[in-house]
Amino acid sequence: MDAWHKAGHDEVIVGVVSSMTESRAFLGVQKSVCGRVWRDRLDLRGTQAATAIGQRYGLPELLSRIIAGRNVALDEVENFLDPTIRRMMPDPNVLTEMDRAASRIADAVQHSEEIAIIGDYDVDGATSTAIMVRVLRAAGASPFFHIPDRLYEGYGPNVEAVRNIEAKGAGLLITLDCGTTSADALGEAAKLDLDVVVVDHHQAGEKLPIATALVNPNREDDLSGLGYLCAAGLTFMTCVALVRELRSRGHWNGGRVEPDLLQLLDLVALGTVADVVPLKGLNRAFVTKGLLSLRNRENHGLRALMDAARLEGPPEAWHLGFLLGPRINAGGRIGDATLGTKLLTTNDPAEANAIAQKLNQLNIERQEVEKRTLEQAEAEAMASLGHDEHGAIVIASGEGWHPGVVGLVAARLKERFSRPAFAIAMLGEQGTGSGRSIPGVDLGRAVRGAVEEGLLVKGGGHAMAAGLTVTRDKLGDLRAYLESRLHEAVEKARHEDCLEIDAAITARGASGELFSMIERAGPYGSGNPEPVFALPAHTVAFADPVGQNHVRARLRSNDGAMISAVAFRSLDRPLGQALLGSRGQAMHVAGTLSVNRWQGRETIEMRISDVAPADPLAAR
């Protein structure tokens, strides 16, 4: 056991890296079933950092390794394990023009101006709008909101919407999770003498639109360091600044009750997780405290949505991203874009239940639309790539595809083929599409390059995701351009693809006690990945298809202990086929741990992400 040693309990084995073994594959897996090499997440320096963390804070070695594997500085471990709003949140005025934004909104409240809000049609936009609406109502205002239709209006404020808002008598427009790139719409607002406050987090260019205040930590002159926040987090900070400004003006002295902003953290947490921003710094505090707020079930809309989703047990971060978020998004994708915001702002339990059931049904319909589109997209992708899956990118397009699901389909194609992927919904001679990338390949830059080359009507995005509009006659040229531009980066990224393992454990070691310990380093998500564990040489005692394209298994360690496991969306993939073909054989199995709650019982199970053949004798 020169490369391994036991830590804590006998059933937990932690990988140790030395200067002699830094390049050695974890458990010797040079090429797994999914074609990846397995690596210890910690190199020599990381191992040293884990030792220092354990010694200073008296933490178990496994927990120290997990923390070190997330690049947490030694002095930041306490904040990482116990993130609080009080410690983590700076004065909102560190954000450029926040003081101006709070002052203008306070003026509108005190002068009883009509206040309008435009929010994005996704979860971040819906939660941001709900936060602002609830605080403005508490302050005595009666704001109205407009959520642009994804299909007919597109992203962000538009000229027609601005004109309609001004016609309704609004004196102030607040845009949330949008507005930074809406020069035409905000220019129209200026012509109509309609003041605009923008609260947004999307990338900003050197030239900003006309606005009374534009709060965006990603504008070039903002030095707050809060560019990792989503719009819901920024809206919360704006409301903190607003409530403080109104307090300084004596607004809360006239019998109005100052709102408890901490009760809104359930909305902030939902927006933060659903928008897949990094769970670091202040975001960790937002999500940690927001989950506690969510457990109180005080928001009628969220309570109804949790019931509709049949969420059992205390809410966890992944519930926000995989159960609640998709249902709110379903309205913006294939239904009424305002449903999510209406749900999160209502105080009527009956209305909340009705909307939640509608969103739940829309989500089922969305899943069916996505499934049909994905089947067509995968068939086209297979034909394009060929049997040997040659090519740097995947581009699939189809007539009549629903534009609301192309982003989801692109993500599935990227996952299926391990390369950047685009899904494009064609309508006549023009199509709108979304792309998703793999680590190490900047898709947004490539799309902007295609715009400059005249291959796209419009397009943009960031490294991992992009959107575009393309004419049918340019599809071939676009494919050739992206193949040429991204080939080298894709080849490099795919060659370097590896699965980082936090530790090796056994089925007996996967206990509730272990799960509780690793949860101390949560919540997990973007920027703070769930710990990946390897089960060395465990026998596949049982494996069978289950549900829609999943494989369920039972894994047995050498001492006879068993753990249930599931490999999602794997039945027609090498992973699922390997499990089904390995019954009775020993395999190295890698994945994350979760709690399965059923009829009041809680058991620990593994979500399998990869497997590799094992020699049981060599792994002992």
Q: Taking Cα atoms as reference points, which of 197, 203, 224 lies closest to residue 93? A: 224
443: which DSSP letter?
H
Tell whether 130 and 231 lie within a shared domain: yes
Tell whether 513 and 585 lie within a shared domain: yes
Of 166-180, 261-275, 356-370, 383-397, where does mean pLDDT reach its minimum? 383-397
DSSP 169-185: TEEEEEEES--TT-HHH
Of 62-71, 147-156, 477-486, where does mean pLDDT reach its minimum? 147-156
Mean pLDDT of 297-322: 94
Give residue 414's pLDDT band: very low, low, confident or very high (50, 70, 90).
very high
Over the chain, what is the mean pLDDT? 91
For position 258, what pLDDT does the model report? 95
Of 15-19, 24-28, 374-378, where does mean pLDDT reach its minimum? 15-19
Largest CA distance in the chain: 79
Q: List, in sequence order, every residue forming a beta bridge with 435; answer none if it has no partner.
A: 422, 466
For position 460, what pLDDT does the model report? 78
Mean pLDDT of 529-545: 97
User: Residue 423 domain-assigned?
Assistant: yes
Mean pLDDT of 437-447: 90
Please give the Cα distance from 530 to 522 (Å, whole number).
8
Q: Taking Cα atoms as reference points, which of 159, 221, 228 lies closest to residue 194? A: 159
User: Residue 310 domain-assigned?
Assistant: no
Give residue 232's pLDDT band: very low, low, confident or very high (50, 70, 90).
very high
Contacts of 271 (CB under 8 A, 6+ apart): 123, 124, 126, 127, 128, 230, 231, 232, 233
Q: Structurally, how many domains does the chain consist of?
A: 3
Mean pLDDT of 103-117: 98
Q: List, in sequence order, every residue forming a beta bridge with 199; answer none if it has no partner.
A: 176, 215
Q: Are 283 and 268 in contact (CB under 8 A)?
A: no
Structure tokens at 606: 């593994």
Give residue 387's pLDDT band: very low, low, confident or very high (50, 70, 90).
low
Structure tokens at 441: 């390949």
Looking at residue 67, its amino acid is I
For position 19, what pLDDT does the model report? 32
Give residue 617's pLDDT band: very low, low, confident or very high (50, 70, 90).
very low
User: Residue 444 domain-assigned?
Assistant: yes
Give yes or no for residue 16 having a pLDDT over 60.
Answer: no
Q: Are 450 and 439 in contact (CB under 8 A)?
A: no
Tell whether 414 and 454 lie within a shared domain: yes
Please give the Cα distance from 283 to 277 (Å, whole number).
8
CATH label of the domain that carries residue 36: 2.40.50.140
Tell whether 113 and 189 lie within a shared domain: yes
Q: Which ranges of 44-203 does DSSP label H, i.e. alpha helix? A: 44-57, 61-68, 77-81, 85-88, 98-110, 123-138, 159-167, 183-191
Tell whether 421 and 287 lie within a shared domain: no
Please give the Cα distance from 56 to 405 (Å, whole number).
49
For position 20, what pLDDT does the model report? 33
Contacts of 314 (CB under 8 A, 6+ apart): 291, 295
Q: Are 231 and 128 in contact (CB under 8 A)?
A: yes
Looking at residue 482, its amino acid is L
Mean pLDDT of 327-335: 91
Tell whether 282 and 142 lie within a shared domain: yes
577 burial (CB, 10 Å; 0-12 / 13-18 / 19+) is middle
Give residue 23's pLDDT band: very low, low, confident or very high (50, 70, 90).
low
User: Residue 436 is part of which domain span?
Assistant: 386-493
For position 12, what pLDDT does the model report? 54
For position 616, what pLDDT does the model report? 41
CATH label of the domain that carries residue 480: 3.10.310.30
pTM higher than 0.75, yes or no?
yes
Mean pLDDT of 380-401: 84
Give yes or no for residue 13 having a pLDDT over 60.
Answer: no
HEC readout, 191-258: HCCCEEEEECCCCCCCCCCCCCEEECCCCCCCCCCCCCCCHHHHHHHHHHHHHHHHHHCCHHHCCCCC
Mean pLDDT of 410-434: 93
Contacts of 397 (CB under 8 A, 6+ apart): 380, 423, 424, 425, 426, 431, 433, 475
Please give the Cα distance from 355 to 361 (Å, whole number).
10
Tell whether 173 and 235 lie within a shared domain: yes
Tell whether 177 and 291 lie within a shared domain: yes
Mean pLDDT of 538-546: 96
Tell whether 179 and 287 lie within a shared domain: yes
Which contiguous run of DSSP H or E holds residue 561? none
For position 445, what pLDDT does the model report? 87
Residue ending a domain, choose from 458, 493, 528: 493
User: Residue 353 domain-assigned?
Assistant: no
For position 440, what pLDDT does the model report? 87
Tell whether 108 and 172 lie within a shared domain: yes
User: Residue 576 domain-assigned?
Assistant: yes
For position 515, what pLDDT does the model report? 96
Mean pLDDT of 506-523: 96
User: Residue 606 domain-assigned?
Assistant: yes
Q: Are 95 and 237 in contact (CB under 8 A)?
A: yes
User: Residue 357 domain-assigned?
Assistant: no
Residue ending a domain, choose from 493, 520, 554: 493
Give residue 386's pLDDT band: very low, low, confident or very high (50, 70, 90).
low
Give yes or no for residue 109 having a pLDDT over 90.
Answer: yes
Looking at residue 502, its amino acid is D
Q: Which of 2-11, 149-158, 527-536 has the highest mean pLDDT?
A: 527-536
Give residue 388's pLDDT band: very low, low, confident or very high (50, 70, 90).
low
Mean pLDDT of 57-77: 97
DSSP 411-424: HHHHHHHTS-EEEE
Give residue 8's pLDDT band: very low, low, confident or very high (50, 70, 90).
very low
Please give the Cα distance from 497 to 533 (Å, whole number).
17
For position 389, what pLDDT does the model report? 65
Please give the Cα distance from 212 to 244 (Å, whole number).
19
Give yes or no for residue 112 having a pLDDT over 50.
Answer: yes
Q: Taking Cα atoms as reference points, which of 139, 135, 134, 215 lies closest to residue 177? A: 215
108: which DSSP letter?
H
Please give the Cα distance from 145 to 125 (Å, whole number).
11
Q: Beta-strand (E) ranges in 476-600?
A: 498-501, 503-505, 533-546, 550-556, 562-567, 586-598
Give yes or no for residue 576 having a pLDDT over 90.
Answer: yes
Residue ending a domain, choose from 493, 513, 530: 493
Tell whether 537 and 443 lie within a shared domain: no
The torsion angle over the Cα atoms of residues 148, 151, 155 and 161, rounded to 10 degrees, is -40
Give yes or no for residue 4 having a pLDDT over 60.
Answer: no
Tell whether 477 and 558 lie within a shared domain: no
- Tally DSSP H helices, then E strands, for the chain: 22, 20
Q: Cα-flanking dihedrals φ and ψ of residue 319, to 5°?
A: -60, -35
- Looking at per-residue confidence, does 5 or 617 come out higher? 617
Give yes or no for residue 618 having a pLDDT over 50.
Answer: no
User: Residue 254 domain-assigned?
Assistant: yes
Q: What percent of the chain has pLDDT over 70?
A: 95
Please give the Cα distance from 339 to 106 (Å, whole number).
28
- Looking at per-residue confidence, does 288 or 383 come out higher? 288
Neighbours of 288 (CB within 10 A): 21
Please give the Cα distance from 552 to 212 (Å, whole number).
56
For position 357, what pLDDT does the model report? 97
Of 264-268, 270-274, 488-492, where does mean pLDDT reach its minimum? 488-492
Pairing of strands 37-40, 498-501: parallel
Q: How far is CA 225 from CA 220, 405, 421, 439, in A?
A: 11, 33, 31, 23
